[in-house]
């Protein structure tokens, strides 16, 4: 509720300041308002108020739209991506070792998952690769 009030009040003041600034500048350009120190300071203050409100308003909007803080255990998304890449690399290595037989690789991985439940996917790939290397000796 507090953020909405800030946004509504800031938008109203921003519109009012913009209208005043536009009026003063138009009067200066048309020559109906003489250019002196008072009009210079007034115009400068309107520009400063307009710019500050614009910045604060959109800073508040950006802050409101930013995602909630992430728990420490959820911050490590790139690690999961690296695991998936490593997992994919291990699967490719396994398929290559089996001469491109994807079905056989899948069967060996499923068999390893049945024999050793609850382990990570990379562990199964490493286990099957180790078993194949041991069997080839």
Angle at 13 between CA 66 and CA 58, to 5 degrees: 20
Residue 81: per-residue pLDDT:
54
Is the Cβ–Cβ distance between 16 and 66 less than 8 Å? no
Among 41, 17, 39, 44, residue whose Cα is nearest residue 28: 39
For CA atoms 70, 76, 80, 81, the dihedral sign is positive
Over pLDDT 90: what percentage of the chain?
Answer: 1
pLDDT tens for 33-80 read 787 888 788 888 888 887 887 787 777 777 766 665 655 555 555 545
Is the Cβ–Cβ distance between 7 and 61 less than 8 Å? yes
User: Model-level pTM?
Assistant: 0.39
SS3 101: coil
User: 107 — phi, psi (to 5°)?
Assistant: -65, -45
Average pLDDT in the 118-127 region?
85
Is the Cβ–Cβ distance between 86 and 106 less than 8 Å? no
| Separation in Å, CA 95 to CA 10, 67, 84, 134 | 61, 40, 16, 16
Q: Rounded to an integer, what distance in angstroms lies between the CA atom of residue 125 and that of residue 96?
A: 13
């Amino acid at each position: 509720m507090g953020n909405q009030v800030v946004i509504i009040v800031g938008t109203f003041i921003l519109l009012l300041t913009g209208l005043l600034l536009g009026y003063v500048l138009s009067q200066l350009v048309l020559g109906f308002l003489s250019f002196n120190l008072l009009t210079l300071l007034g115009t400068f203050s309107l520009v400063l108020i307009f710019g500050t409100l614009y910045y604060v308003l959109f800073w508040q909007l950006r802050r409101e739209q930013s995602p909630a803080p992430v728990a420490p255990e959820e911050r490590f998304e790139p690690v999961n991506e690296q695991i998936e890449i490593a997992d994919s690399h291990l699967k490719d290595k396994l398929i290559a070792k089996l001469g491109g037989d994807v079905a056989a690789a899948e069967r060996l991985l499923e068999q390893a998952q049945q024999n050793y439940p609850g382990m990570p996917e990379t562990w199964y790939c490493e286990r099957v690769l180790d078993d194949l290397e041991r069997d080839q000796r």
